[in-house]
Amino acid sequence: MGGLGLGLGFLQYVIVVLVLMRVFLLSCGELQRIDGKMNNDGSLSFLVLGDWGRNGDYNQSQVAYQMGRIGEELDIDFVISTGDNFYENGLQGVDDKQFQYSFTDIYTAKSLQKQWFSVLGNHDYRGDVLAQLSPVLRELDNRWLCMRSFIVNSEIVNFFFVDTTPFVKKYWTKPGDDHYDWREVAPRDEYIENLLKELDFALKKYMAPWKIVVGHHTMRSVSQHGDTVELLDELLPILKANNVDLYINGHDHCLEHISSIDSPIQYFTSGGGSKAWRGDYTPNADKQRFFYDGQGFMSLQMTSTSAKIVFYDISGTSLYEWSMSKQLPIFM
Ligand SMILES: *[C@@H]1O[C@H](CO)[C@@H](O)[C@H](O)[C@H]1NC(C)=O
């Protein structure tokens, strides 16, 4: 690990600890916020991975290796995990060895020794959900940071991480053989109402040029799970009303880009962290631009006026690129 990497890592660690202390001290009605650091040239680059923790199996290790290579090339600042961090049933406790076998021992490249920002997926809710949120994991591996809903604030991008699993009604009403750990969440409706209120408030308050919302579940998807109707009904209107640029998710084990036909929102799925190749395909009314049914991950390189998004497969080959630009408002 280089000196710079260590320095940033430590600083991020300190910021995280301070934020957590603040969170414990104040029980405020606002989403928790972390202040991210930017490069001196005003750019930000990061990788997005989803649906991954399988002890290296199903090509998880190959994806990890290529993330290390691309991470080095792009000199990334952090990694985002879109959830389903540990299969099949999350972690069983803070001492569950799967944390080491599926995370610490897999993403070993130097370039990946950065802060990871993770949300929870539905599989994470099937274990001891509080374990993944516990500061004990950060003592085991200080890259780890998983919260339910939170903000990462930087000058060029505001990230809004949203806990999407509680939205999905069938997990509550028809869990089948799966057990969901709803501690600190139930009852659903109250939780969702508060979350949406806090999110709407935060989306209006933070004014970086780019707004990115990250959740586990799909908004729009042509793959196995398809759209998540609760998110279309309850979350999407708030994103549209607040000029969100990108919604990034996992859940479907594939890579995809779909453009909203009635708003500027771009939907990106990065859920190819391990098991993939589901073979399902159902188009929807929005504009599908790219769909790859296999493993891989995504990179974003951003400045205040541009964003470049690339999908990679397990050999690190770029499969698809998408660029966006934005005019900065002119202040008189
Ligand atoms: C691993 O990746 C290769 C190349 O994409 C693919 O052919 C193979 O089916 C994958 N293996 C598994 C278990 O998914």
Does the structure show a pLDDT above 90 at 23? no
Condensed to tens digits (0 to 9), the pLDDT of residues 145-164 reads 999 999 999 999 999 999 99
Does the structure show a pLDDT above 60 at 313? yes
Q: Computed from CA positions of residues 24, 154, 257, 57, in that sequence, does the dihedral angle turn out positive or negative?
A: negative
Q: How far is the CA of 124 from the centre of ligand 1 (A)?
A: 24
Q: pLDDT band for 229, please (50, 70, 90 cuts).
A: very high
Condensed to tens digits (0 to 9), the pLDDT of residues 172-183 reads 999 999 999 999
Evaluate: CB of 201 within 6 angstroms of ligand 1.
no
Quote the pLDDT of residue 254.
Answer: 98
Quote the pLDDT of residue 320.
Answer: 98
**Ligand 1 atom showing the smallest separation from residue 277 Cα:** 14
Quote the pLDDT of residue 36.
Answer: 73
SS3 content of the chain, % helix, strand, coil (to 5): 30, 25, 45
User: Of all protein residues, whose CA lies closest to atom 9 belonging to ligand 1?
Assistant: 277
Q: pLDDT band for 16, please (50, 70, 90 cuts).
A: low
Q: How far is the CA of 313 from the centre of ligand 1 (A)?
A: 10
Q: Give the percent of the chain with pLDDT over 70.
A: 89
- The residue to mutate among 63, 277, 319, having the most atoms of ligand 1 within 8 angstroms of its beta carbon, is 277
Q: 148, 120 in Cβ contact below 8 A? A: yes
Does the structure show a pLDDT above 70 at 5? no
Does the structure show a pLDDT above 90 at 166? yes
Does the structure show a pLDDT above 70 at 245? yes
* Mean pLDDT, range 111-122, rounded to an integer: 98
Quote the pLDDT of residue 178.
Answer: 96
What CA–CA distance (Å, rounded) separates 11 from 25? 21
Evaluate: CB of 314 within 6 angstroms of ligand 1.
yes
Q: How far is the CA of 148 from the centre of ligand 1 (A)?
A: 31
- The residue to mutate among 253, 295, 315, 317, having the most atoms of ligand 1 within 8 angstroms of its beta carbon, is 295
Q: How far is the CA of 294 from the centre of ligand 1 (A)?
A: 7
Q: pLDDT band for 328, please (50, 70, 90 cuts).
A: confident
Does the structure show a pLDDT above 80 at 31? yes
Condensed to tens digits (0 to 9), the pLDDT of residues 95-106 reads 999 999 999 999
Quote the pLDDT of residue 120.
Answer: 98
3-state class of 9 per DSSP? helix
- Listed in sequence order, the DSSP H helices in the chain are 3-25, 60-74, 98-99, 129-133, 135-140, 169-173, 188-205, 229-230, 236-241
Does the structure show a pLDDT above 70 at 111? yes
Quote the pLDDT of residue 2.
Answer: 36
Quote the pLDDT of residue 280.
Answer: 97
- State yes or no: is 179 an active-site residue: no
Does the structure show a pLDDT above 60 at 188? yes
Evaluate: CB of 277 within 6 angstroms of ligand 1.
yes
Evaluate: CB of 58 within 6 angstroms of ligand 1.
yes
What DSSP assignment string belongs to 66-88?
Answer: HHHHHHHHHT-SEEEE-S--BTT
Evaluate: CB of 56 within 6 angstroms of ligand 1.
no
The sheet with strand 287-292 has its strands ordered as 32-35, 150-153, 157-162, 210-215, 246-249, 266-270, 255-259, 287-292
Quote the pLDDT of residue 26.
Answer: 41
Of 230 and 41, the structure prediction assigns the larger pLDDT to 230
Residue 262: partners with Cβ closer than 8 Å, 6 or more residues away: none
Of 138 and 21, the structure prediction assigns the larger pLDDT to 138
Of 41 and 135, the structure prediction assigns the larger pLDDT to 135
User: Of all protein residues, whose CA lies closest to atom 1 belonging to ligand 1?
Assistant: 59
Does the structure show a pLDDT above 80 at 6? no
What CA–CA distance (Å, rounded) separates 168 from 174? 10
Residue 99 zone, left/alpha/beta (φ > 0; ψ -120 to 50; rest): alpha
User: Of all protein residues, whose CA lies closest to atom 6 belonging to ligand 1?
Assistant: 294
What DSSP assignment string belongs to 226-290?
Answer: ---HHIIIIIHHHHHHTT--EEEE-SSSSEEEEE-SSSS-EEEEE--SSS---------SSEEEE
CATH, domain range 3-325: 3.60.21.10
Q: Which residue out of 123, 179, 225, 257 is catalytically annotated?
A: 225
Structure pTM? 0.91
What CA–CA distance (Å, rounded) separates 256 from 288? 8
Q: How far is the CA of 189 from the centre of ligand 1 (A)?
A: 40
- The residue to mutate among 52, 58, 59, 275, having the most atoms of ligand 1 within 8 angstroms of its beta carbon, is 59
Q: pLDDT band for 332, please (50, 70, 90 cuts).
A: low
Condensed to tens digits (0 to 9), the pLDDT of residues 36-91 reads 766 667 899 999 999 999 999 999 999 999 999 999 999 999 999 999 999 999 99
Q: How far is the CA of 13 from the centre of ligand 1 (A)?
A: 36
